Amino acid sequence: MDRSARIAVIGAGLGGMTVAGFLQRAGFDVRIYEQAPAFSRIGAGIILSPNVTKVLRRLDVEQGIIDTGIKPRSYISRTWDTGEIIYKIEFDAASEARFGGPYLSIHRGDLHAQLERGIAAGSIDFNHRLVATEETLDRIRLTFDNGRKVDADIVIGADGINSKVREHLLGAEPPRFIGSVAQRAIFPAAALGEFNIPDCTKWWGRDRHILAYFMTSKRDEVYVIGVVPCSSWDHDAPLLPSSRAELIENFASFHPDLLRVLEAANEVTVWPIFDRERNDRWSEGRIVLLGDACHPMRPYMAAGGAMAIEDGAILSRCLAEFDEPAQAFRCYEATRVDRVGDVQRISIENSWMRGPCTDIDWFYRYDACVAPLTLPT
């Protein structure tokens, strides 16, 4: 693509920040439009698998996330009642060499602060909520809720599960509530007293599961996320307050090691979980989607953010490689759709690292910065 093309990225989430950083490095003129007034340190952690950390390395962000997050020594799966370990992987120099990057856990706010360092200073327009898109033969006119209108040659919809850009391509359709909610809490590790916990453990129940992990290398901040069934969600709010008592009640039959952790949790919140049915149409004309805007998935493989970041790397390579947006988008879709489809399927099964036979190499060793592009036929 002509490097003078005006590229508008809608949404400064994980995917939007990644694609913008790579496109800027390739010499494109990119602006990001974000509805929020600023970034804030919202209460949640995130796991970044090696397929992601090696991509962020190319944006010069890897060392920052290693310094602010934690490289866990291991990931452990345990059964809810007996506490039996059903899967364990050690993370060390050998695993980093095998996968090409470290496995990390980090506070989402800290991750975002680092991602901001991967893009050109001043390239985000905050307080810009996209409300309309109008496509003509040679450009797209974007209208924001603050009244501003902007023309772009390419629009990248990185605006998450309730994407306005997606609406333009595929029509308005609310995401699907999956019948589960996530209870989340962050608390200082000091609240555990003398009780030592491993760096990252997932407890597997019959119809629910829960993870507990450190988010900092000092091991002073713990994140807990428990997923439980819930028949309906009738609120507009993205989250509601919950309580330690409710969290403990939901996992009351679980192993005492877990309950000891939950007793330390305060400020618990509850979040509905949504996804969408698989859809393989990610672009049209001058508009393309990435991340949750086109393939929001259940969080059971801890991979939705990873897919948004990989999308960003591949899409930027395709735009740099081809002269026409249509060719670039076809190549992007052809390269991404099967891998994302596999991750969506595994996320629905909730089978990732549940048992000793999980094959993880295909996922962790993938490198979106050098993986072959699938050329459009």
Ligand X SMILES: Cc1cc2nc3c(=O)[nH]c(=O)nc-3n(C[C@H](O)[C@H](O)[C@H](O)COP(=O)(O)OP(=O)(O)OC[C@H]3O[C@@H](n4cnc5c(N)ncnc54)[C@H](O)[C@@H]3O)c2cc1C
Structure tokens at 186: 């962050």
- Among residues 104, 152, 155, 306, the one that binds ligand X under rule CB under 6 A: 306
Contacting ligand X (CB under 6 A), which of 36, 150, 320, 334? 36
* Residue 343 binding ligand X, by CB under 6 A: no
Binding track over 217-256 against ligand X, x by CB under 6 A: --------x-------------------------------
Among 1, 7, 8, 11, indicate the residue that binds ligand X (CB under 6 A): 11
If one asks whether residue 178 binds ligand X (CB under 6 A), the answer comes out as no
Q: Is residue 291 a contact residue for ligand X (CB under 6 A)?
A: yes
Q: Counting contacts by CB under 6 A, is residue 50 touching ligand X?
A: no
Kindly identify the residues of this chain, within the stretch 134-173, that bind ligand X according to CB under 6 A: 158-160, 164
Write phi, then psi, for 89 (nearest 5 degrees). -130, 130
Alpha carbons 335 and 306: distance in angstroms, whole number: 15
Residue 115 engages ligand X in binding (rule: CB under 6 A): no
Spell out where the chain has E strands.
Answer: 6-10, 29-33, 45-48, 74-79, 85-90, 104-107, 124-125, 130-135, 140-144, 149-152, 154-157, 176-188, 200-204, 209-214, 221-229, 240-241, 269-275, 283-284, 287-289
Q: How far is the CB of 246 from ligand X (least distance, A)?
A: 16
The residue annotated as part of the active site, out of 103, 213, 300, 364, is: 213
Q: How far apart are CA 31 and CA 66, in angstroms?
A: 27
CA distance 141 to 62: 35
318 three-class SS: helix
Question: Is residue 130 a contact point for ligand X (CB under 6 A)?
Answer: yes
Is residue 14 near ligand X by the rule CB under 6 A? yes
CB of 327 to ligand X, least distance (A): 24
Q: Show the tokens assigned to 302.
A: 């801890």
Reference 300, options 175, 216, 204, 184; nearest CA is: 204
- Alpha carbons 22 and 342: distance in angstroms, whole number: 25
* Nearest to ligand X of 3, 281 (CB atom): 281
- Of 22 and 271, nearer to ligand X (C-beta) is 271
- Give CA–CA dist 119/222, Å, rounded: 29
Which residue's CB atom is positioned nearest to ligand X?
13
Reported as type and span, the H/E element at residue 64 is helix 62-68
Contact residue for ligand X among 8, 9, 28, 33 (CB under 6 A) = 33
Residue from 1, 7, 8, 16 that binds ligand X (CB under 6 A)?
16
The residue range among 92-100, 195-203, 230-238, 305-313 that interacts with ligand X, by the rule CB under 6 A, is: 305-313
Examine the residue annotation and report whether 75 is marked as an active-site residue of this protein: no
Q: Cα dist. 43→17, 63, 105 in Å?
A: 20, 23, 14
Size of residue set near ligand X by CB under 6 A? 34
Position 173, amino acid: E
Strand partners, 32: 9, 124
Give φ, ψ of 337 to 5 degrees: -60, -45
User: Does 35 contact ligand X by CB under 6 A?
Assistant: yes
- One-letter amino acid for residue 279 of the chain: N
- Decide: is 20 part of the binding site for ligand X (CB under 6 A): no
Q: Out of 292, 318, 331, 333, name the contact with ligand X by CB under 6 A.
A: 292
- Which one of residues 102, 226, 299, 325 is an interface residue with ligand X (CB under 6 A)? 299
- A 10 A CB-CB count for 377 gives 5
Q: Which is nearer to ligand X, 130 or 185 (CB)?
A: 130
Least distance from ligand X to the Cβ atom of residue 33, Å:
5
Q: So which residues are the catalytic ones?
A: 213
Which residues of the shown chain bind ligand X in the complex (CB under 6 A)? Answer: 10-16, 33-36, 46-47, 128-130, 158-160, 164, 182, 225, 271, 273, 291-293, 299, 302-306, 308
